[in-house]
Structure 1
Amino acid sequence: MDIIADIMLGIGAIGAAIYCMVLSRRLRRFNNLQNGMGGAVAVLSAQVDDMTTSLNSARDAAGQSAAVLTDLTERAEASAQKLELMMASLHDLPDVKQALGPDVPPPDPPTDPAQHQSTDVGNTAPPMFFSHRVMEAAE
């Protein structure tokens, strides 16, 4: 009985050694940097590093853009306040009739350049912003 137990123990030890050799080969192939998962892990690690640097640069650019936009918004608000103040001060100006006096007629309103016809013979230049379209009658 001792001999059978020793034989079984030897067969078990040989089986465990073969199993360890097979696992060692698989692990070596798995960690191979060119073909196995080790290469994939190394590539993914490099990509993660690249993405981290890209994310940090994008975060910095977004922070700078936010600072510029904040500055521009503050300037726009200050300009809007100035314009509101100017518009409010225009309401305080007197009318033209009150400023000129009751006896002086108000100035003529500006005429539309499209309706303006030049009566001056020496002035041959067309008025500014005048359309040069000529309408012809249909035959």
Structure 2
Amino acid sequence: MQYIADILMGLGALGAMIYCLVLGRRLKRFNQLENGMGGAIAVLSAQVDDMTKALNRAQATAATSADQLKALTERAEQSAQRLELMIAALHEAPESEGEARRYRVLRRRHRHGDLEAAE
């Protein structure tokens, strides 16, 4: 009975050894940088770094654009307020002799014959 237990124990150890050898070979192939999974992981890691840098640049650009847009919006609001004041002042201006003023727009057309030639 002791011999049978020793033989089974040896066979179990031999099976564990073969299993470890197979796993070791698979792990070597998995970690190869040229054509294994390790290479794919290295490429993906480099791409993630590049994308992180691009994202940081895009965020900086967006922040700058937001600041510029905010400044332009404030400037536009100030101009709109000034225009409203000008329009209000125009409505309050006294009219001459009770009649509404009529503004005329004159357009002057240039004739080709009126142009002087440069010498």
> What's 1:4 paired with?
4
Structure 2 CA distance, aligned partners of 1:41 and 1:61? 30
1:62 paired with 2:43, answer: no
Q: TM-score normalized by structure 2? A: 0.81
- Cα deviation for residue 38 of structure 1 reads 0.8
Structure 1 CA distance, aligned partners of 2:94 and 2:46? 74
Unpaired runs of at least 5, structure 2 = 112-119
- Partner of 1:35, secondary structure, is coil
- Structure 1 residues 8, 90: closer, same or farther in 2, change over 3 A? same
Output one character per residue of 1:88-114: Cα deviation in whole Å (capped at 9) or x when no partner.
111122223359xxxxxxx9864776x
> What's 2:31 paired with?
31
- Cα deviation for residue 13 of structure 1 reads 1.0
- The residue type paired with residue 50 of structure 1 is D
Q: TM-score normalized by structure 1? A: 0.70
Q: Which has the larger radius of gyration?
A: 1
Identity %: 57
| CA-based RMSD | 2.6
> What's 1:42 paired with?
42
Structure 2 CA distance, aligned partners of 1:109 and 1:93? 15
Q: How many residues align?
A: 111
Moved over 4 A (4+): none
Structure 1 CA distance, aligned partners of 2:49 and 2:105? 70
Say which of 104, 109, 116 aligns to 1:128.
Answer: 109
- Partner of 1:91, secondary structure, is helix
Structure 2 CA distance, aligned partners of 1:27 and 1:109? 90
- Name the one with the larger helix percent: 2
Unpaired runs of at least 5, structure 1 = 100-106, 114-126, 131-139
- Partner of 2:76, secondary structure, is helix
- Cα deviation for residue 129 of structure 1 reads 7.4
